[in-house]
Structure 1
């Protein structure tokens, strides 16, 4: 069941909260929402408290339409912990959600007991693909979420997985709703030089078929994260591994939380 929390940073955040135990708070990737974690959450909630949330400009979270950064989203995450009475949690997420979790660990390390980082990167936007992505964003805002543009986005995120439920959502969104979340992702800071400051235990999970962030890149940056376990590679998984390979993702998370529980 979706619930709502009015947080100190401004938004009215939509979230789901299930299970009991070590709190695990997960955020989704760009243009997705907490539905991404439906299956992994169901598999984990018998052992852990799983909170999934919709970021600003996504899903059911209210957004005033003003510009924001992913640092603002990280502050939203910390404010959500406050609203839920959670002093410390394992935080993480997929893609953008993982980046936001790392940002939160830099802003408030005392609130982060551990990190779960799925198909993500701490890097800023790669300049080599900037023109192509800008053209895609301009086309989306000019023509709206056409079936063709949705198929392009769907293939990048879900590979050969079932993207139709997400295309249905994208087609219902007003083109103007794309601008601020897109800008936040495109203009994000590069966290790579600060990875050594993030000392919490960390799980890095990555699909071997992730075309958005290659697994070699994940191995490279994870090697600079002091508390990171060896990267868990999910064979054949595309960028959105929580949706396409939920059992493998849930299994990796459960193992990490169980093995690291004394430190959490």
Structure 2
């Protein structure tokens, strides 16, 4: 198994932060800088994104979860707080399915535990096929911003940064990840048995994984706190880093 590219910065409770689709680990820069006094912040690039090797194997998020376990092994860490936003949340839940004994706490941000409906799966396959056929992710960058990735009052400079990160993704990684997300199972049964401190975060204007989905996860987890961050959309950690980091600090204290 190839070790993913990752950074580990700070001291304290091990905290893994898993990035959104189709970005990379550097989306967590504000968290890495702010939380280094209370956590060892570990930010891996998932398969095919950032500095990690191209995605290989069947498109399954469980393989990405196993990659994260390999990172923890490399660092000599037995248990960690596992967190993710959007696709990163899906991977965090996959990690909990496969490596529950290594989860010291759980952070789920702007994500959902239930499977995609037929229309959502069809759309993922449409995008996967399109980026491969064109050998370009330009269509994804254009669609994602307008489809509610960011909130209604987003800083234009942040929007440009997000577009730049999307543009750096490879078509192969985008297609693999889309198909892996489409194949993911229902994670609610896993969450119901996860008796660790958990935090569920959602942006007020998140249209992709809205408040209703966050409530379901928070109500299913045995020990979860739900936070709605006002004024932001799907990428809450980028749009409101101070509010997001406050939630993470509170979770780390509970862990």
TM-score, normalization: structure 1? Answer: 0.87
2:252 equivalent to 1:257: yes
Residue 98 (structure 2) pairs with residue 103 (structure 1): no
Q: Report the counterpart of residue 122 of structure 1 in structure 2.
A: 113
Q: Which residue of 1 aligns with 2:159?
A: 163
Q: In structure 2, do the counterparts of structure 1 residues 173 and 105 end up closer, same or farther at CA, with 3 Å as the change threshold?
A: closer
- For residue 185 of structure 1, the aligned residue among 166, 178, 181 is 181
Aligned residue for 1:39? 30
* Alignment counterpart, residue 176 of structure 1, candidates 172, 175, 178: 172
Contact 2:204 2:232 in 1 (8 A): yes
1:154 Cα deviation after fit:
2.6
Q: What is the rounded CA distance, in whole Å, between the counterparts of 1:30 and 1:129 in structure 2? A: 15
**Secondary structure of residue in 2 paired with 1:12:** coil
Q: 1:181 to 1:132 in 2, by over 3 A?
A: closer
Sort the Cα spacing of 1:206 and 1:113 in 2 relative to 1 into closer, same or farther, 3 A: same
Aligned to 2:42: 51
Offset at residue 164 of structure 1 (A): 1.9
Kindly tell me: are residues 109 and 146 of structure 1, through their superposed partners in 2, closer, same or farther at Cα, counting changes over 3 Å? closer
Deviations along 1:2-37, whole A, 9 cap, x unmatched?
Answer: xxxxxxxx1231111111111111111121111111
CA 131–63 in structure 1, closer or farther in 2 if over 3 Å, else same: closer
What stretches of structure 2 of length at least 5 have no aligned partner? none
C-alpha distance in 1 between matches for 2:244 and 2:98: 27
CA distance change for structure 1 residues 124 and 75 in 2, over 3 Å: closer, same or farther? same
Let me know the Cα RMSD of the aligned residues. Answer: 1.9
- Kept in 2: contact 1:106–1:198 (CA 8 A): no
- Report the count of equivalent residues: 250
- SS of the aligned residue for 1:30 comes to coil
Counterpart of 2:71 in 1: which secondary structure?
Answer: helix
- SS state of the match for residue 82, structure 2? strand
Deviation at 1:147, TM superposition (A): 4.3
* Cα displacement (A) at 1:169: 3.9
* Correspondence for 1:69: 60
TM-score (norm 2): 0.90
Q: Distance in 2 between matches of 1:14 and 1:147?
A: 24
Q: Secondary structure at the match of 1:152?
A: helix
Structure 2 equivalent of residue 232 of structure 1: 227
Q: Report if the CA contact (8 A) 1:157-1:212 is conserved.
A: yes
CA distance in 1, matches of 2:205, 2:52: 30
Other-structure match for 2:129? 138
User: Deviation string for 1:207-243 (max 9, x for gaps)?
Assistant: 11111101111102320111212x1000011111111
CA contact (8 A) 1:106 1:197 kept: no
Unaligned runs of 5+ in 1: 1-9
Structure 2 counterpart of 1:210: 206
